[in-house]
């Protein structure tokens, strides 16, 4: 068989622990036998980030900007415990944070739906995609403990040194205070990416916030979304028969639970963090969720939504078998291959990516499941398999499907 050729590379960002083990299994067993895989490889193993003073992470993000398509393995975000565990000379920043800051994007998270995996919320027959704003708010906030008798204020000093003061609270007793911010350009780019994605995927778009309470703050988000819609996207939405609406966050939660799915849900940073875990769990598992960072200048970074699965890795090191679910990582690769094919007009590569996804789903539908999915599988003669066997079974399906 002639291998499928690629014109341009995918930025291949390796990571840590169990996901690193699965990363090379997937490339060796499911991709390289069929595709003449062209990659630019960056090793974000926690030790290599430490050795390069995190330069490798910045280079990886810049490579995604250059080549437009990247795929990233889960990585350890170091902390004190990890510093000791891996004997690191420093605690580096979250690699996802560093990459997001350089690419300036929105993270889209979508459940992988499989007919024989019963969602925990049975009415969700179509996927709900979360679009999470990835800049500012709580994640760039300033916090403090406040002693009784203190006064907390917001002071805004403009460029002419004119001060505007607002009292947050006169503290009669000990308490806490927090402030945060966002930027118009970031909100604008977030909204723009959401509208473009809704059009690309032909899905209704809901943006949710709490403008009734955060009267200036969340109203700014709402206005930017609504103005951009009216000025730029309304006619295209109407042509496609899709809808845009603004909804209060609490109302959006209740609508989402009662819905059949099938829409794009744009969330502010914190709401998106929490809601993507809620949505993933409602559909079955974090290992059945795809995640892609879309940058405003058209670069894409695919990843799994879960972490490095440390507990399984330590079993693996002891020589024990693990039943770690490789599906989200396979779909990160298929997503990147399909996007590479789309940008390069390479139909063969797009078709292969779709076959890889189909073969993975066929395998689950035949009753081969990793441990995490066993209780949710509706197949009569279902069987728990280890990670290696799962990948081998997917390979057998893929060979037959090609
Ligand atoms: P985790 O990797 O998300 O795993 C937590 C637990 O969830 C596992 O022990 C396992 O439960 C289950 N699980 C997650 N993914 C699974 C899969 N593919 N198949 C089967 N079960 C799965 O979180 P962690 O082990 O607590 O975190 C490890 C590291 O991941 C941390 O250092 C963190 O910084 C990093 N992290 C990275 C990313 C990223 O790079 N995208 C995201 C999140 C976390 P059972 O043990 O019950 O089987
Ligand atoms: Mg979260």
**Ligand 1 atom closest to Cα of residue 75:** 40
Q: What value does the mean pLDDT of the chain take?
A: 95
Task: Quote the CA–CA distance of 121 and 146 in Å, as a whole number.
Answer: 43
Task: Quote the CA–CA distance of 368 and 388 in Å, as a whole number.
Answer: 12
**Cβ < 6 A, ligand 1 pocket:** 74-77, 96, 286-287, 303, 306-311, 324-325, 370, 372
CA–centroid distance, 306 to ligand 1, in Å, is: 5
CA nearest ligand 1 atom 40, residue = 74
Closest Cα partner for 390 from 336, 35, 366? 366
CA–centroid distance, 369 to ligand 1, in Å, is: 18
For residue range 97-120, what is the model confidence (pLDDT) as tens digits?
A: 889 888 877 999 999 999 999 998
**Ligand 1 atom closest to Cα of residue 76:** 32
Question: Do residues 233 and 99 touch, judged by C-beta distance below 8 A?
Answer: no
pLDDT of residue 402: 87
CA nearest ligand 1 atom 16, residue = 287
For residue range 136-161, what is the model confidence (pLDDT) as tens digits?
A: 888 788 889 999 999 999 999 999 99
> Ramachandran region of residue 131, left (φ > 0), alpha (ψ -120 to 50) or beta?
beta
pLDDT tops 80 at residue 7: yes
> Ramachandran region of residue 175, left (φ > 0), alpha (ψ -120 to 50) or beta?
beta
For residue range 251-307, what is the model confidence (pLDDT) as tens digits?
A: 999 999 999 999 999 999 999 988 998 998 899 888 999 999 998 888 999 999 899
pLDDT of residue 142: 87
CA nearest ligand 1 atom 37, residue = 307
pTM score, whole prediction: 0.89
pLDDT of residue 96: 87
**Position 336 confidence tier, pLDDT thresholds 50, 70, 90:** very high
Burial of 106 (0-12, 13-18, 19+ CB in 10 A): buried
Task: Quote the CA–CA distance of 94 and 110 in Å, as a whole number.
Answer: 22
CA nearest ligand 1 atom 33, residue = 76
CA nearest ligand 1 atom 6, residue = 309
Which ligand ends up closest to the CA of 279?
2
**Ligand 1 atom closest to Cα of residue 18:** 2
| % residues pLDDT > 90 (the chain) | 88
CA nearest ligand 1 atom 27, residue = 307
Helix pair 95-103, 55-67: axis angle to 10 deg: 40
CA–centroid distance, 68 to ligand 1, in Å, is: 27
CA–centroid distance, 157 to ligand 2, in Å, is: 35
Question: Do residues 119 and 281 touch, judged by C-beta distance below 8 A?
Answer: no
pLDDT tops 90 at residue 315: yes
**Position 3 confidence tier, pLDDT thresholds 50, 70, 90:** very high
pLDDT of residue 138: 87
């Amino acid at each position: 068989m002639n291998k499928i050729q690629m014109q341009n590379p995918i930025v291949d960002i390796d990571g840590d622990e169990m996901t690193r083990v699965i990363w090379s299994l997937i490339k060796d067993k499911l991709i390289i036998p069929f595709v003449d895989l062209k990659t630019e490889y960056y090793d974000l193993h926690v030790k290599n980030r430490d050795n390069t003073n995190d330069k490798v992470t910045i280079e990886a993000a810049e490579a995604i900007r250059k080549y437009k398509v990247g795929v990233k393995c889960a990585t350890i975000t170091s902390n004190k415990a990890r510093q000791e565990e891996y004997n690191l000379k420093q605690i580096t920043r979250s690699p996802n944070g560093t990459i997001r800051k350089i690419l300036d994007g929105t993270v889209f998270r979508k459940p992988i739906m499989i007919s024989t995996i019963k969602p925990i919320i049975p009415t969700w027959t179509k996927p709900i995609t979360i679009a999470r704003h990835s800049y500012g708010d709580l994640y760039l906030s300033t916090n403090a403990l406040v002693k009784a008798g203190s006064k907390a204020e917001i002071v805004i000093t403009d460029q002419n040194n004119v001060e505007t003061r607002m009292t947050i609270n006169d503290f009669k007793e000990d308490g806490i205070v927090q402030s945060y911010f966002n930027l118009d350009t970031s909100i604008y780019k977030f909204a723009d990416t959401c509208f473009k994605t809704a059009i690309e995927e032909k899905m209704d778009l809901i943006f949710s916030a709490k403008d009734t309470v955060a009267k200036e703050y969340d109203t700014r988000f709402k206005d930017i979304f609504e103005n951009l819609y009216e000025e730029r996207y309304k006619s295209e939405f109407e042509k496609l028969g899709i809808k845009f609406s603004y909804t209060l966050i609490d109302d959006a939660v209740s609508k989402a639970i009662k819905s059949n799915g099938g829409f794009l849900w744009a969330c502010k940073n914190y709401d998106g963090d929490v809601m993507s875990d809620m949505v993933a769990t409602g559909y079955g598992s974090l290992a059945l969720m795809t995640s892609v960072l879309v940058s405003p200048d058209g670069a894409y970074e695919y990843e799994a939504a879960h972490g490095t699965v440390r507990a399984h890795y330590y079993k693996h090191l002891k020589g024990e078998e693990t039943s770690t679910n490789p599906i989200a990582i396979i779909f990160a690769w298929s997503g990147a291959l399909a996007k590479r094919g789309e940008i390069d007009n390479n139909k063969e590569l797009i078709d292969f990516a779709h076959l890889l996804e189909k073969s993975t789903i066929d395998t689950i539908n035949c009753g081969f499941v990793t441990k995490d999915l066993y209780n949710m599988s509706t197949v009569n003669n279902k069987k728990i398999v280890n990670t290696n066997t799962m990948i081998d079974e997917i390979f057998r399906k893929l060979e037959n499907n090609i």
